[in-house]
Amino acid sequence: MARIIVVTSGKGGVGKTTTSASISTGLAQKGYKTAVIDFDVGLRNLDLIMNCERRVVYDFVNVIQGEATLNQALIRDKRVDNLYILPASQTRDKEALTHEGVEKVLNEMSETFDYLVCDSPAGIEHGALMSLYFADEAIVVTNPEVSSVRDSDRILGILQSKSRRAERGDDPVKEHLLLTRYNHERVERGEMLSIEDVNDILSIPLLGVIPESQAVLNASNQGAPVILDEDTEAGQAYEDAVARLLGEERELRFLDPQKKGFLKRMFGG
């Protein structure tokens, strides 16, 4: 039976799809059969980051409505074994994600996959609530900004009250915090919240801190999850986050600004 992980946030533009791509890729690299599902009907982006947009024939809604089988819609990643993508529809309405239809697809996928990573739309619209409802675990993605953190707090309230686990009285959804676009120098200048500030507000376990990095944008533009770029701090930070998700203890890295060497201090750069 698959473990269902939703990647969510209250605010758009914080790096949910980037995170969904890297977390699912990392799980597959660890040997787990993993599918990443795009719940953002109408604004499909996951296939771009996963570099499979030209291979999309059928989508999530086609499967829900019986117009295609799951095998027809799933796209196998060409770079990582055990990784599959289920794209969203660009032309359907969000209401096409029916409760019964989503549950049926997730149940079918759970028979053959170890992990299902659900890339949620931002906020609390229909697609977001649908992805949150079925979650066993949630990765709440937030930037170190007051508005982003406040909106994430609203999402935590929904997870605790409106998920399937909450309705059934089961163990609660396991919550993880992923802090993205963290810049220590901006924190020092008071332009960003510190890790401690965010923890004080949200009070959920910290899965990882992804440093602000040009590598993230470069990877997205190239259609590659940044976790595959093992030479970058962002890629390594996502790999650390996957390890922690699987129960491994790792210290947080890349939190302090790089100290410049003597020549760089003298001559700049």
What predicted TM-score, i.e. pTM, was given to this entire model? 0.92
What is the residue whose two structure tokens read 């269902």? 4
d(CA 29, CA 10): 29
d(Cα 107, Cα 104) in Å, to the nearest integer?
Answer: 5
pLDDT of residue 10: 85
3-8 and 115-119 strand pairing: parallel
β-pairing, 174-182 with 137-142?
A: parallel
Pick left, alpha or beta for residue 32 (phi over 0 → left; psi -120 to 50 → alpha; otherwise beta). beta
pLDDT of residue 66: 93
* Rounded Cα–Cα distance for residues 134 and 163 (Å): 6
Q: What is the pLDDT of residue 45?
A: 86
Nearest to 179 by CA among 17, 5, 19: 19
Q: State residue 142's pLDDT score.
A: 95
CATH superfamily placement of domain 3-246: P-loop containing nucleotide triphosphate hydrolases (3.40.50.300)
Element (H, E) at 149: helix 146-162
Instruction: Enumerate the domain spans of the chain.
Output: 3-246
Q: What is the pLDDT of residue 95?
A: 73
Cβ pair 204, 137 in contact under 8 A? no
DSSP 3-state of 261: coil
Letter string b/e over residues 19-33, b meaning 16 or more CB atoms within 10 A of that residue's CB: bbbbbbbbbbbbebb
pLDDT of residue 197: 93
Identify the pLDDT of residue 106: 97
φ and ψ at residue 8, rounded to 5 degrees = -140, 165
Beta bridge partners, 85, equal 36, 75
Each residue's pLDDT expressed in tens, for the chain with a length of 269 residues: 899 999 999 888 899 999 999 999 999 999 999 999 999 887 778 999 999 999 999 999 999 999 999 999 999 999 999 999 999 887 676 677 899 999 999 999 999 999 999 999 887 878 889 999 999 999 999 999 999 999 999 999 999 999 999 999 999 999 999 999 999 999 999 999 999 999 999 999 999 999 999 999 999 889 999 999 999 999 999 999 999 999 999 999 988 765 444 444 455 54
What integer pLDDT is reported at residue 163 of this predicted model?
93
The pLDDT, as a whole number, for residue 258 is 52
Residues contributing to the annotated binding site: 11-18
Nearest alpha carbon to residue 52 among 31, 10, 24, 11: 24
Question: Known binding site for ATP: residues?
Answer: 11-18
- What is the CA angle 23-98-137, rounded to 5? 30
Residue 261 has what pLDDT? Answer: 47
Residue 242 exposure: Cα atoms within 13 Å on the Cβ side: 26
Per-residue burial over 111-137, b if 16 or more Cβ lie within 10 Å, else e, is eebbbbbbbbbbbbebbbbbbbbbbbb
